[in-house]
Structure 1
Amino acid sequence: MKNMEQKEEKMSERASHQNAGLIKIARASMVGISVMVFLGYIMMWCIMPTDTYYNKWVPHIMADTNSTYFGLQGPIILDFTFPILFIAVLGCFYTYLGKRMDANEVSCCKTNDSFKFLKKPMIIKALGVVTWIELFFFGMFILLTLWYFSAYMHFWYEKISMVAMSRGDKVWQAKLERLALVIGLAGNVALTFLFVPVTRGSSILAFLGLSSEASIKYHMWLGNIAMALFTAHGTLYIIYWGLTDRLSEMLKWDETWDQTYVNNIAGELCLLCGLIMWSTTFPRIRRTMFELFYYTHHLYILFIIFYILHKGLFFICIMLPGMYLFVIDRFLRFLQSRQNVRLVSARVLPCEAVELNFSKSRALEYTTTSTMFVNIPIVSKLQWHPFTVVSNSSLEPDTLSVVIKCEGSWTKKLYDVVSSPSSIDHRLQVAVEGPYGPPTTHFLRHDTLVMISGGSGITPMISIIRDLIFMSSEQKCKTPKLVLVSTFKNTSHLSMLDLLLPLSSTPSKSYNLDLEIEAYITRENTQPTEKSEPIRTIHFKPLPSDIPIASSLGRYSWLWLAAIISSSFIIFLLISGIYTNYYIYPKDLNMMRIDLMTRRTVFTIFLIFFSIAVTSTAAFLWNKKQNARETKQIQDLDEWTKGKSFSAQNDNADRELESLPYQSLVKTMKVHYGSRPDLNRILLEAKGSSVGALVCGPKQMRHDVAAICSSGLADNLHFESISFSW
C-alpha cells in the first residue's frame, strides 16, 4: 500500500511539474507576442507625424481593410486601439495562468541577480526614488514625445508659407500658430497613457508585475507633462488670436470644423477643468486639503468629454485604449460599491487605531500588501479611502481585515464612531472596492527580509508577516529571517504589534518563523510606569442583506475581464459600423458636415459607455448569483462570534491566551526609547546572500533606505518601497 501511495504521489508531482512547464511556455509566448505588438504600436506613433503615414500607409490600410465600414476611424482603430486592447486580453490570460502555477515554484526561487543593477534605486529631486528600469522607460517616453513634436514641426514648417497665405498671416504668426498646434499634439502622447496607471484592476499592470498603488507616481508624471503641454498650447493660441485680432475665435464652437476640425469653446472648457484639477495636485495642497483634491479630481469626466468634443473622432481612437480599459474598471468598481458588506467586528487599539474585520467569500483570494477602498456613509457618503489589507486569504479564509489609524478628520471620526458605546449594538454600514494588489509577491526569494516602517507604514508589514506565517506552517518552503524595524511616536503605538497575529489565532498553535522586532519610541525617553489601555474587541450584528466581500467577477475574474474587454469592443465595432453605413453615408458621403460630425462624436462616446455597461453588468450579475449561492451556506454571523453577546469587551483574557503563539512567533523584541533607528547599521549588518530592504513610511525614511541600498557598500541589498503618500 505504501509503495502504491508513493507511486501515486510521484505521478502527481510529475504531472504538476509538466503542467507548470506548459504554463511557463504559454506565459513566455504571451510575453513575446505582447512585446512584438507593443513595439509595432510604438512604431506607429513614430510613423504617424510623417508624410509616409498619411500619403502611403493610411490609403493602403483603408484599401486592404475596406474600412469604409468605419470611415476614417477604421485605420486608426487598427493601428492604435486594437494593439493595446489585444495586449490587455493577453495580460488577463497571462495573470490567470500565473495564479494556477504552484505557489512554491513561483515564490521560493531565489532572486536572479543578472540584472540587479537595473533595479538599484536612485533619488532624483523631481521624480523621487526611481530605479534604472523606471528611468529608462521614462526617458524613452520623453524621446517619443520629443520625436512626435519635432516630426510634426518639420511637417508643418515645410508648408508654413502655404499656411500663412491661406490664413492671411505673416510667416512668423503662422509659425506661432503651428507651434501652438504641435505642442497640443505632443500633449496627446501623455494623455494616451494617462489612465493606464490608475486602472486598479488593470491586466496590463498585472502583466508588468505592478499594482495600481505602485503606479500612481507614473500617473503623476504623465499628468504633469500633459497639463504643462496643454497649458502652453492654450496660452499660445490666445496670444496668437490677440496678435492677429481674432479673439472672437475663442467664442466659436462649430465654425472652424470645416477647416481644422476643432471646437474652440470645448477646448477652453477642457483646459479649464484640467487647470482646476492640476492646481490641487501639488503636495502641500493635496495633503492639507485632501477633500478639495478628491472632489476636484472628478472633473476628469468633463475634461475627457470636452477633449473629445474639441478634437473629434480622430483622436478618440488614438487615446481610446487607456480610457477604454479605465472605464471598464471604473464601472466594475461602481457595481461592487453599490453593495453593503458584512462588518462583523472591530479591534480598538489604545493608539487610536482600529482593525475592521469583514466577512469574506472563501473564493476571494488576494496577494500580500493588497489595498481596499472603504466608504462608510455615517462618516462621509462621498469619500473613499484606501487601506492595507492585513489579513491573509489562506490563513483567514472567512475574514478580511484592514487597519485604520487616526491621521485625519475622516479617520478620527471613524474611530469615534467605532469606539463609542452607542455603536456597539448597531450595524455599521460599509461599502468597499477591491481588494487590489500585485499579481505576485517574491518575499520568499530573500534569505533575510528587513522591514522598515514608520507610523501607519507598519500595516503592509503586518500583512507580509501573516502571509509568511501561513507559508511557514502550511507549505514546505523555507521562509526568510525577518527583521521588523518600526518607529512609533509613543508607547501606546506598540499595541500595533499585537495585530501581527489574527484575531482567530488559536492559543495552542506555534509558528516556525524567525522574527526579530526592534521598536523605536521617538517622543518618550523612558518606559512609562502606567500601563496602556487594553485592546477592546467590538462585535457588530450585520443585517441579513449584508454580503461577504467577494470579487466583482468571481473566482475566474481575469477570464471574465478578458471576455468583457473583447466582447464590449466587438459590440462597439458592430454598432459603429452599422451606424456609419446606414446613417452617415446616406446623409453625406464625405462625413464632414458639421452637424453629422458633432452628432457622430456624441454617439461614439455614448456607444463606448453602452457597450461597456452592457457586458460588464452581465458579467457582474452572473457572478453575483454564483457568490449568492456560497453566501447562503454562510451563517448570518461568523462561527467565531457565536454565543457571544454583541458588546464591547476587554481583550485581557484573549491576550493571555494568545501569549503562547505570540512568543513562538517573535524570537526577540527590543524597545528603544528616545532614539531613531540606525538604518545604515541595520541594513549593512543583515546576513544573507540576498537581503530585501522593504520600507514603508515617511518620504525621508524611504529616501534614506534607498540611499543606503544604492551606495554600493553592500551588494546583497534589494530595495523595495511601499508608499501611500504621493
Structure 2
Amino acid sequence: MGKVSDQVPLLLKKEDEFDHLNKIPLWVSLTKLILKVIMWLIFIAWATFIFFSPTKFTERLQEKIILATRETIFGTTGSIFLISSFPIFMIAFLAIIRLALSGEDEPQVKKTAKAPNFRLWTFPVLVDGPFGVVTAAEMIGIILFSVYIVWAIIMYTIQDVDLLSLFHVHSMKDKSVVLLEITGLRFGFIGLICLAFLFLPVARGSVLLRAIDIPFEHATRYHVWLGHLTMALFTLHGLFFVIGWAMRGRLVEELIDWKNVGVANLPGVISLAAGLLMWVTSLPGLRRKNFELFFYTHQLYVVFVVFLALHVGDFIFMTTGAGIFLFMLDRFLRFFQSRKTVDILSTTCFPCGTVELIISKPANLHYNALGWIFLQIRELSWLQWHPFSVSSSPLDGKHHVAILIKVLGDWTEKLKGNILNLSVEQSENEPLLQHKRKITASVEGPYGHESPYHLTYENLILVAGGIGISPFLAILSDILHRINDSKPCLPRNILIVWAIKNSDELLLLNTVDMQAICPLFSDKLNLEIQTFVTRESHPSLEEGKTPKAMHTTISPGFKGCRMSSLVGTGNVVWSGLYLMVSTIGLVITVALLNIFYIIPFNVNYWWYKGLLMIGCMAASILIFGGLVIVLWHLWERKTSPKEEPREDTSNKADFLQQNEQKNFGEARFVNNIRYGQRPDFQEIFGSHAKSWGSVDIGVVVCGPPTLQSSVAKECRRQNLQRRDHQAIFHFNSHSFDL
C-alpha cells in the first residue's frame, strides 16, 4: 500500500481548515482548564484522605470534622456525608459545567503531535491473565488499589493488637475471639470503601465517566474487578464474625439478632447472602454457560443495598452514599427512556445469519460513531436487555440509527424468526395479520466515548472478528462523510483487518455506500481491507453470484415513535440539571425529615434511620428529579422537529439490492480476500509501520477476548522493540463482555 504523497498539499490545507473550525475562545479554554485542575485537586485530596484513613492522624482529623459539624440538623450523618460523599458530588457538578462549555454540536478533533509518543491509556501492559488486556493507566489504578488494601490491613492489624488491652480479656480463647471480631469489623470498613466506588462505573450515563471520557463498556470491567474485591472483603467480614460467634457458642443467637441501637446482624446476613449469590453467578464459567441466571440474580443488588442500609444504619451507609445515589439517578432516567416504544423502520436479514435493524431516533439526539445502545424486544422478553454497537454514522441521517445483530443464541434466534415471519406475512398481502403481529422495541442509550477518538489518528488499523465489523462500518462512514463535508477529521490511512468464518459474511461490507457518501474518496483516503475467511480454503460462490439479503419494512408508515432523548449522555444542560436538582432535593428531603420527624420524635434506631435514608434518596429522585424529567420531556417535544425520517432510510434497501450482485473483486476499495488463513499480526503491523513511517497508529479492535489479546500482544511487542523513526501503536478496545 503506497503513500498518498501527491495529496500532501491538499491535506495540509484541510488541517488548517480544521484548526480554524476547532478554534475555541480563550476564556472557554481557560475556564475548562481551571475546572479540570479543581476537579483533580478535589479527587486527589479525597483519595489521599481515604488512603491514610487507617492512620491515627486521619482518625483524629475525622473526629474533629465530625465534632465541628454534627450539631447541625443533619447530625453525624451529615458529617459523614461531608467527608465521604460531598467531594464526589462537587466533582460531578464541576464536570457538568465543563461539559456544557465543550458544547454538543461539533466534536473537537485535536491535532496529534508531530512526533509519535506513548500514552498510558493506550499502552497494553498485561495481555494474558485474569484481568484481560490491561493498559498502563489501568495497571497504575490496580496497583494503587492493591497497595491501599494491603496497607489498610497491616495498619488495622497493628491497631487491633494494641486495642486488645482495652477489653480486659485474659484467656487466649477470649483474646482470639475479640481479635477475630475486630478484624472482621476492619474488613467490613475496607469493603465499604470499595463499595463507594463499585456503583460509579455502572452508571451508564454518569457525568463522571463522561468527564474523564471512559465509555461504559470499559467501565464495566472496573465494576467487575471491584465487585470481586468488595465481595471477597465482605465475605471475610462475615466469616470472621461467624467464627468468633461460634467460638463463643452464640452463633444462632447472633445471626438472627436485630439490634435497634447498633449494627443489626440479621439484615447483614441477608445482604451478604444476596451479595454472595450475585458473586457466585457472576463467575466467568457460570456466567457464560447460563447468562440468564447471572442476569436475573444480579437484580438482587436492590436487596443487597437496602439490607446493607438496615445493617449499618444511616451514618455508616453514607460512606457509600454518593456512588449508590448516582447509580439510582442513572437507573431512574434509563427507566423513563426505556418506557417509550420505538419504530423499527426497516430490517435486513443477511444470509450469514446477521440482522440489521434501522431504528427511528430524534434529530437532536447526538452520538458518535463508536456508540452503543441497549435493546429490548418485548415480544421476546420483558426483562432482557442486550447491548449492540451502532453500525451507522451520526452523519448518515438525523432520524435513524442502525445496528447489526449476529444470530448466536436463543434471543437472537427468536428475533430473526419473528422478522422472517413478518416478511412472509407482508409478501402474502395479509395486512390484518401485519397489524396484529409486530415487533416492539425499547431502547436505552446511546452510550459510548464522549469524544470520537477515532478521528484523532491520521493512521488507523481496525481489527474485527466476525460481527465486530459493525462499529468499523460506522467509523468508515463517519470519516467519509467528514472528508466529503470538509469537517474536522484526521484519518488518511486506514487498514481494516477482518477475520470471518465463512464468505457469506462479506455482504456486510456493502452496507456502506462509500461512492455515494464521498465520490472521490480514493483521492483523499488511503483505504485497504484485508479479509481472512478462516473456514474456507477457496471461494465457495460462483463467480458473479452472491446470496441475497431479505429486506423488510416492518412499520406500515412512520408513526412518530422515536427513541427518547431522555438519556444521561444526551443534552448536557438538562442531564446536569437532573443531577443537581436531585442532589439538592436529597439535602432538602433529609433536612425536612430531621426537622419534622427524627428530632421531634427522638428516632434513634439505626436500622430504621438507614431505611429512611434509602427512602429519602428514592423520594428526592422521584419528586425533584422526576420534575426535571417532565420539564425536559416537554422541552424536547416543543423543540424537536416534526420531519419524518423517510429521507434517511428510503434508499437503504435499494442500495443493498443494487450492490448484492457486485463482485467483491470489483469493489470500490482495495479488498484482499484470503481463504483458509488467519491474520498474521506481526507481518501486518510490521509492514504498515514501515510503510507509514514514524507516526502514531491508532489500533481499534472489536471481537472476542482471544482476538483482543493477540492484537494487544502485538501492539506491546512492536512498541517495546521500537527504534527511532518507527511507528507507535495505540491499543483501543471496542468490545463489550459482561
TM-score by length of 1: 0.89
Measure, in 2, the Cα distance between the counterparts of 1:14 and 1:356: 37
Displacement of 1:125: 1.2
Match of 1:181 in 2: 185
Find the partner of 1:125 among 102, 106, 129: 129
Measure, in 2, the Cα distance between the counterparts of 1:13 and 1:446: 14
Match of 1:616 in 2: 625
Give the alignment of 1:108-123 within 5 angstroms: 108-110=111-113, 113-116=116-119, 119-122=122-125, 123=127
Name the SS for the 1:387 alignment partner: strand
Match of 2:429 in 1: none
Paired AA for residue 190 in structure 1: C
CA contact (8 A) 2:205 2:568 kept: no
Displacement of 1:236: 1.9
Match of 2:159 in 1: 155
- Cα 1:90/1:213, change in 2 over 3 Å: same
CA contact (8 A) 1:364 1:554 kept: no
Displacement of 1:194: 0.5
Measure, in 2, the Cα distance between the counterparts of 1:306 and 1:112: 55
- Cα 1:640/1:222, change in 2 over 3 Å: closer
Give the alignment of 1:26-175 within 5 angstroms: 26-63=31-68, 65=69, 67-100=71-104, 103=107, 105-110=108-113, 113-116=116-119, 119-122=122-125, 123-163=127-167, 165=169, 170-175=174-179
| Deviations 1:466-506 (CA, angstroms, capped at 9, x unpaired) | 1111121112544321111111111111112122339xx85
Match of 1:457 in 2: 468
- Cα 1:240/1:319, change in 2 over 3 Å: same
Name the SS for the 1:468 alignment partner: helix
**How many residues end up aligned between the 2 structures?**
696
The unaligned stretches of length 5 or more in structure 1 are: 1-11
- Cα 1:126/1:556, change in 2 over 3 Å: closer
| Deviations 1:225-263 (CA, angstroms, capped at 9, x unpaired) | 1111111221221111111101133443433x54xx211
- Cα 1:529/1:583, change in 2 over 3 Å: closer
Measure, in 1, the Cα distance between the counterparts of 2:63 and 2:319: 14
Measure, in 2, the Cα distance between the counterparts of 1:567 and 1:111: 45
Match of 2:203 in 1: 199
Measure, in 2, the Cα distance between the counterparts of 1:491 and 1:141: 46
- Cα 1:17/1:179, change in 2 over 3 Å: closer
Measure, in 2, the Cα distance between the counterparts of 1:52 and 1:117: 34
- Cα 1:474/1:369, change in 2 over 3 Å: same
| Deviations 1:405-434 (CA, angstroms, capped at 9, x unpaired) | 111111111111112334644542110000
Match of 1:585 in 2: 599
Deviates more, 1:166-175 or 1:228-237: 166-175
CA contact (8 A) 2:399 2:648 kept: no
Measure, in 1, the Cα distance between the counterparts of 2:264 and 2:219: 33
Name the SS for the 1:230 alignment partner: helix
- Cα 1:43/1:651, change in 2 over 3 Å: closer
- Cα 1:717/1:507, change in 2 over 3 Å: closer
Match of 2:734 in 1: 722
The answer on 1:603 being equivalent to 2:587 is no
Give the alignment of 1:544-583 within 5 angstroms: 547-552=561-566, 557-583=571-597
Measure, in 2, the Cα distance between the counterparts of 1:694 and 1:218: 20
Measure, in 1, the Cα distance between the counterparts of 2:202 and 2:633: 25
Displacement of 1:166: 11
- Cα 1:518/1:164, change in 2 over 3 Å: farther
Match of 1:25 in 2: 30
Deviates more, 1:74-83 or 1:42-51: 42-51
Paired AA for residue 565 in structure 1: L
Displacement of 1:305: 0.8
- Identity across matched positions, percent: 29
Measure, in 1, the Cα distance between the counterparts of 2:143 and 2:446: 32
- Cα 1:650/1:47, change in 2 over 3 Å: closer
Match of 1:517 in 2: 529
Find the partner of 1:710 among 706, 710, 716: 716
The unaligned stretches of length 5 or more in structure 2 are: 1-16, 427-433
Measure, in 2, the Cα distance between the counterparts of 1:44 and 1:13: 44
Measure, in 1, the Cα distance between the counterparts of 2:18 and 2:677: 52
Paired AA for residue 526 in structure 1: H
- Cα 1:120/1:508, change in 2 over 3 Å: closer
Displacement of 1:544: 6.6
CA contact (8 A) 2:184 2:238 kept: yes
- Cα 1:608/1:132, change in 2 over 3 Å: same
Paired AA for residue 35 in structure 1: W
Paired AA for residue 537 in structure 2: N
Name the SS for the 2:318 alignment partner: helix
TM-score by length of 2: 0.88
Paired AA for residue 603 in structure 1: L
Displacement of 1:60: 4.5
- Cα 1:56/1:197, change in 2 over 3 Å: closer
The answer on 1:289 being equivalent to 2:293 is no
- Cα 1:556/1:226, change in 2 over 3 Å: closer
Find the partner of 1:536 among 550, 571, 594: 550
Displacement of 1:321: 0.9
CA contact (8 A) 2:188 2:234 kept: yes
Measure, in 2, the Cα distance between the counterparts of 1:709 and 1:299: 40
Name the SS for the 1:200 alignment partner: coil
The answer on 1:697 being equivalent to 2:699 is no
The answer on 1:428 being equivalent to 2:461 is no
Displacement of 1:93: 2.3
Name the SS for the 2:342 alignment partner: coil
Match of 1:343 in 2: 344
Give the alignment of 1:231-246 within 5 angstroms: 231-246=235-250
